[in-house]
């Protein structure tokens, strides 16, 4: 395949991430864990970030062992901007400049609006929107300086549609698309792309309420055209694509990984 500079490359080479450094917030478990593993398997060194050091260490050790790449653990609350800035310096000192930022850490507080408090709403917005803003502000401009970078935000099917009882979460996942599109435009000519992955239901801790309730679980399955929940490994390809040179001309977009939920 002919590249923009006239050189020839096999298309599979475009998916390699050798020499890149990736940071995955919430990389200790769930979708973030699967994404961190995928990026390492493709050749990136990975910083695994969450509030729980033991979980980050466990994930980082397993990822390093399985991929042969460097993986390091950092305990940070992404809602605390001073801690984030301090951690950013530690991550860069340990692994090098961050080329790929995955804003994956997220929370969900469900309930009808009359049962939700202002602080419930603010907590969801803080983790799901303000933290990606802060992380993008810390790492994005440095990617711009170096002329290459990837920011991948975790949206949701709730970035496009909703369900009753999801006011804070759906508001946050719609907002993350606004952030995604805006930064995509700001950095469009700088080699830095900004995209979102919008998953449908995956069996993670976030969904344990649904997973532990057979009626709710079945109701969700009935809404998914493919008739099943996603497997954690099924998020990996989307993340790798958006993180790689294969997606060089993709920015400001949302990639739905939802078994067809939003096609209806």
Ligand X SMILES: NC(=O)c1ccc[n+]([C@@H]2O[C@H](COP(=O)([O-])OP(=O)(O)OC[C@H]3O[C@@H](n4cnc5c(N)ncnc54)[C@H](OP(=O)(O)O)[C@@H]3O)[C@@H](O)[C@H]2O)c1
So which residues are the catalytic ones?
169
CA distance 128 to 108: 9
30 is a site residue for ligand X (CB under 6 A): yes
Say how far residue 132 (Cα) sits from the centre of its chain: 9
First to last CA, the chain: 36
- Residue from 204, 220, 236, 255 in contact with ligand X (CB under 6 A): 204
99 is a site residue for ligand X (CB under 6 A): no
Q: Between 42 and 56, whose beta carbon lies closer to ligand X?
A: 56
- Judged by CB under 6 A, the chain residues 211 through 240 that form the site for ligand X are none
Give me the least distance between CB of 67 and ligand X, in Å please. 19
Judge whether 160 and 173 are in contact, CB under 8 Å.
no
106 is a site residue for ligand X (CB under 6 A): yes
52 is a site residue for ligand X (CB under 6 A): yes
136 is a site residue for ligand X (CB under 6 A): no
Size of the site for ligand X (CB under 6 A): 29
Give the residue ranges of DSSP H helices in the chain: 30-41, 53-67, 81-95, 118-125, 131-146, 167-186, 208-211, 214-223, 236-243
156 is a site residue for ligand X (CB under 6 A): yes
66 is a site residue for ligand X (CB under 6 A): no
CA distance 102 to 80: 17
The SS3 assignment for 116 reads coil
- Residue from 21, 32, 149, 261 in contact with ligand X (CB under 6 A): 32
- Residue from 81, 162, 182, 207 in contact with ligand X (CB under 6 A): 207
């Amino acid at each position: 395949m002919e590249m923009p500079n006239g050189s020839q490359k096999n298309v599979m080479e475009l998916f390699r991430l050798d020499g890149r450094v990736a940071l995955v917030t919430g990389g200790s478990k769930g979708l973030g864990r699967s994404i961190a593993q995928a990026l390492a398997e493709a050749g990136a060194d990975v910083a695994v970030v969450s509030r729980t050091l033991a979980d980050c260490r466990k994930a980082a050790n397993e990822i390093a062992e399985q991929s042969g790449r460097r993986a390091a653990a950092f305990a940070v609350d992404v809602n605390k901007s001073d801690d984030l800035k301090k951690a950013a310096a530690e991550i860069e000192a340990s692994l090098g400049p961050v080329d790929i930022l995955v804003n994956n850490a997220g929370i969900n507080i469900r309930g009808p609006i009359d049962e939700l408090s202002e602080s419930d709403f603010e907590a969801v917005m803080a983790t799901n929107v303000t933290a990606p803003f802060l992380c993008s502000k810390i790492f994005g401009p440095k990617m711009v300086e170096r002329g290459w970078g990837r920011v991948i935000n975790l949206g949701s099917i709730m970035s496009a549609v909703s369900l009753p009882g999801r006011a804070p979460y759906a508001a946050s996942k719609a907002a993350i698309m606004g952030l995604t599109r805006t930064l995509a435009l700001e950095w469009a000519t700088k080699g830095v792309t900004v995209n979102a992955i919008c998953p449908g239901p995956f069996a993670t801790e976030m969904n344990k309420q649904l997973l532990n309730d057979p009626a709710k679980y079945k109701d969700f399955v009935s809404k998914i055209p493919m008739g099943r929940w996603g497997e954690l490994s099924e998020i990996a390809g989307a993340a790798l694509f958006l993180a790689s040179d294969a997606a060089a001309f993709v920015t400001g977009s949302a990639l739905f990984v939802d078994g067809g939920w939003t096609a209806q």
